[in-house]
Structure 1
Amino acid sequence: KELLSRILRKKHGEVILKNYRMNMAVKAGENYMSEMYRVHCDYTRPSDSIETLHSWTVIVKSMPLTEMRETLAEFDMFGYEVEMLTNVIPAYSKFTSTAFAAECFHAFEEPFKFIILEDLKLSNFTSTNRKNGLDYDHCKLLMEKLGKFHASSILYTAENEKKVKTKFESRLFHPNHDNKHMRTFFVNGYLALLSTISERPDIFSSNLVAKLQNVKESFVAKMADGYQKQIKVNVITHGDLWVTNIMFKYDEQTGKPIDVIFVDFPMAFYGSPGVDINCFLNSSLQSDVYREKCKDLIQIYYNGFHEVLNENGYKNIPTFEDISNEFKQKLFHGFVISVSLLPLASMEKAIEDTGEGKQLDAIWDTNEMSSFRQSTYSNVNYLNQLTVETRTFHLYPKLHPIVFLR
């Protein structure tokens, strides 16, 4: 209560916290790295002539000590997110007035890992329906802001190069870290996809099955390159940029999206911008947007990217061709996303919680995964996405070992 009182006073001046209560901020299964709670605070102001009860909310993001999360401690994901929210992203305000994330009020390591954040709903941001995919208006906003986000990180890195390269070195698939659970998650997704298309010759060609089988032996190594291999342009990535980690604000009159903001940064790392671009494009778009607007969206990304760097007088701004090459060189990461995050985004229903914060364990546990894969990878939403003829692998077939063919 004392901590909440301090936060309240910082935001609202001299106030008195009367009571508070908590409830889940997201549905079970919608957030796989943490538990999210909304804390409702009721307070009064001594300056009021008549005592009036005011209300305010904050978000508490916690990481319960389940078996899976203890394993993920190897990657210091909590530390990455705290660094992003308390030091890195606030520093971006030096380079642009664009808001990228919620304000972080407090972060704790012990006895439990949790973060107290601004409730973005108070600023009229809301989550979107993940299984429907985003239309072009949503995607334009996202890609422009992502470009500005990456550009800001380049400017920040120019002033803090040693810190960034040390702190944000990717631990995913790094030879010095245990990656068995991550490897299981992605490989199981690949095998589930292979099984699904093999059993549906009415939809997928034998040629596609053969192409997917050919990459079997090199899948893990190519997947690791997505996180570990740097090319020419390097930024601090979001690292997990898909529809569940994005919130939009809408015009009250037209209902059209007017702003977007990012949430959840435990996967942030220093690497290619092509990782974030491919992650978003391969997990969160409506199929017609992917088919018709993919190249346009990369140009919109670059416009935002160039704008921030140019306004800050940055020398040697990467060209559009540089960014396009980053995208193309990370196409295999796009394929990895298609066999891991896209099925989750396409699910009709989220995985139900067991009441003990087990969503992440259920997704990555081998026993749980068998039934989960059967229902998820045969989902009609997912199959419709896979049968789009002009996904990235078709747009750039010579640059990628996988070509999606009907």
Structure 2
Amino acid sequence: MSKTVPDWLDKDFFTKVIRSYTNDEAAILVSFSIRSGSNAGENFASDLFRVTLNYSKTPRTSTAGGKNLFSRNIETISVIVKSLPVNEDVDIDNHRMFQNEMRMYGESLVDIDRIVRMAYGELKLFPSLIYQTTEPTAVIVLEDLSSYGFATVCAPDENLETTKMIFYRLAIFHAASFYLADNGADYTSFNYSVYHMPESIQESFFKHNLRIFKSLMLNNAWPEMNESKYVKRVDEMIEKCTERGKRVFSNSTSGFNCLNHGDFFMRNMLFRRAAVDGRICDVQFLDFQLSVYASPAVDIFMALYGSMTLENRLRYRNEMILFYYETFVDSLRRFGYVKEPPTLLDLHVELTRCGALGAQLCLCYLPYLLSEFDKVNSDVMFVVNGDTESSKKNLYLNENYVKVIKEEFKEFFYNGFI
């Protein structure tokens, strides 16, 4: 991300933002201040700024002592500005991802928010869009949730209620898109995922990681997994990981589909804690750049591995899937869906059909998710050289990851997911 504030983030631009936000063409921007809106390891595809805007709307006429008086009250709003850099080399994938997110905020999420509020009152699943434009570059302006006490949480909460909150909102989000698709919404153009990115990404993030995993197996990092039958399956994963990923991240004619977030990890969520006891009491979803119309298994697997501790996943996995399903069906009823909904068996069929994704998340993503993500240089994820290989090995040998892989690898093997 660029650290320099671009010249176009000026008074004229923010006047347009305020007038769009207030729906008042006479609103005046009084002042603004800009600061960086992201930390290391965040927002690979865009620049991010946090901006405080002081403004006044068209004055209202009032009478006092028989005289007409005009008053302008100064109001303040904090916003997040996401943009593609201007006059810099931005690859085609970043452009596509950013355009994907603009369509999500400008179209699909508007409809989802509308029916969710009709059914659930003031429940919000994501920040509101304030303004967006394509000039002088692609820009999205969102409400700044930190103003309402929301902040990042890097690691899964041991409190199962936090996980249930995530699955509850995910089920409502999925159900809303499922209902809207049944009523004419066309999400099929949301068909781009990390598995559809260039071969260089497949090589650096998936195949390179799997080769490192295999080398650690062969070097007895996990002696119980150093058997030829296990190594052979990992070789097969290396060969077929992109093909399998594309299949999962494509809409299915045999199962059922919904609009997935597509990158549903905790770094793409913001949480609010209760003032009384500090417990997490609310969550909203961010960063819809990789949203994809496909099996709900896409987001469910990401939630299982990205927002549950190992202990909770081993103990409550099926309970959480049932909770998701019951919320999904209840949401459809609230939205007015009158057909027979997918069954719980249908959902488990999807999770089995897409089970390779769970294995790939565990073998390729989880070492990063179990580390302090903001301290992992993006080069470690996407560059292949001696230094990054050493760093990746350390992530795989992290004691938290070792606990997971010892518990879950053979389960993947016996289920045919690797």
Q: Supply the AA of the counterpart residue of 1:70.
A: D
Return the offset for 1:20: 1.7
Structure 2 match to 1:3: 13
**Per-residue CA distance 1:150-179 (angstroms, 9 max, x = gap):** 110011112334x322x22346545xx744
Structure 1 match to 2:6: none
Within 1, Cα distance between the matches of 2:141 and 2:293?
A: 25
SS at match of 2:41: coil
Distance 1:153 1:393, change over 3 A: farther
Distance 1:363 1:89, change over 3 A: same
Distance 1:400 1:49, change over 3 A: farther
Q: Does 1:343 align with 2:329?
A: no
Distance 1:224 1:297, change over 3 A: same
Structure 1 match to 2:250: 228
Of 82, 104, 110, which aligns to 2:129?
104
Distance 1:160 1:313, change over 3 A: closer
| 8 Å Cα contact 1:168/1:269 also seen in 2 | yes
- More moved, 17-26 vs 81-90: 17-26
| 8 Å Cα contact 2:98/2:289 also seen in 1 | yes
Q: Does 1:333 align with 2:357?
A: yes
Distance 1:321 1:68, change over 3 A: farther
| 8 Å Cα contact 1:16/1:44 also seen in 2 | yes
Within 1, Cα distance between the matches of 2:181 and 2:361?
A: 27
Structure 2 match to 1:159: 183
| 8 Å Cα contact 2:355/2:417 also seen in 1 | no
Structure 2 match to 1:136: 160
- More moved, 80-89 vs 96-105: 96-105
Q: Supply the AA of the counterpart residue of 1:62.
A: S
Distance 1:93 1:228, change over 3 A: closer
Return the offset for 1:278: 0.7
Q: Does 1:169 align with 2:191?
A: yes
**Per-residue CA distance 1:302-356 (angstroms, 9 max, x = gap):** 1221111112133121011111211121111111112332222122353467xxx
**Per-residue CA distance 1:66-99 (angstroms, 9 max, x = gap):** 999504147x111211111111111013432242
Once the two structures are superposed, the pairs formed by residues 136-285 of structure 1 within 5 Å of their partners are 136-161=160-185, 163-165=186-188, 167-170=189-192, 173=195, 178-201=198-221, 204-207=224-227, 208-209=230-231, 211-228=233-250, 230=252, 231-285=254-308
Structure 1 match to 2:120: none
Structure 1 match to 2:396: 377
Return the offset for 1:211: 4.1
Within 2, Cα distance between the matches of 1:347 and 1:102?
A: 27
Distance 1:197 1:333, change over 3 A: same
Q: Supply the AA of the counterpart residue of 2:163.
A: C
Within 1, Cα distance between the matches of 2:393 and 2:131?
A: 41
Count of residue correspondences:
387
Q: Does 1:19 align with 2:31?
A: yes
Structure 2 match to 1:80: 100
Larger RCO (CA within 8 A; separation ≥ 6): 1
Structure 2 match to 1:324: 348
TM-score (norm 2): 0.82
Within 2, Cα distance between the matches of 1:288 and 1:79?
A: 38
Once the two structures are superposed, the pairs formed by residues 29-48 of structure 1 within 5 Å of their partners are 29-43=41-55
Within 2, Cα distance between the matches of 1:223 and 1:65?
A: 32
| 8 Å Cα contact 1:135/1:286 also seen in 2 | no
Distance 1:66 1:281, change over 3 A: farther
Q: Does 1:400 align with 2:416?
A: yes
Within 2, Cα distance between the matches of 1:192 and 1:392?
A: 15
Distance 1:157 1:210, change over 3 A: same
Q: Gapped runs of 5+ residues in structure 2? A: 1-10, 61-68, 118-122
SS at match of 1:42: strand
Q: Supply the AA of the counterpart residue of 2:78.
A: T
| 8 Å Cα contact 2:28/2:56 also seen in 1 | yes
Structure 1 match to 2:66: none
TM-score (norm 1): 0.84
**Per-residue CA distance 1:186-221 (angstroms, 9 max, x = gap):** 212222222233334456532444543454433332
| 8 Å Cα contact 1:284/1:345 also seen in 2 | no
Distance 1:103 1:144, change over 3 A: same
Of 20, 28, 38, which aligns to 2:40?
28
**Per-residue CA distance 1:218-239 (angstroms, 9 max, x = gap):** 3332233222362411011111
Q: Supply the AA of the counterpart residue of 1:227.
A: F
Structure 2 match to 1:124: 149
Structure possessing the higher radius of gyration over alpha carbons: 2
Within 2, Cα distance between the matches of 1:345 and 1:173?
A: 18
Q: Does 1:93 align with 2:116?
A: no
Return the offset for 1:43: 3.8
SS at match of 1:314: coil
Within 1, Cα distance between the matches of 2:357 and 2:129?
A: 30
Distance 1:66 1:228, change over 3 A: farther
Identity of aligned residues (%): 23
Structure 2 match to 1:299: 322
| 8 Å Cα contact 2:271/2:281 also seen in 1 | yes
| 8 Å Cα contact 2:78/2:144 also seen in 1 | yes
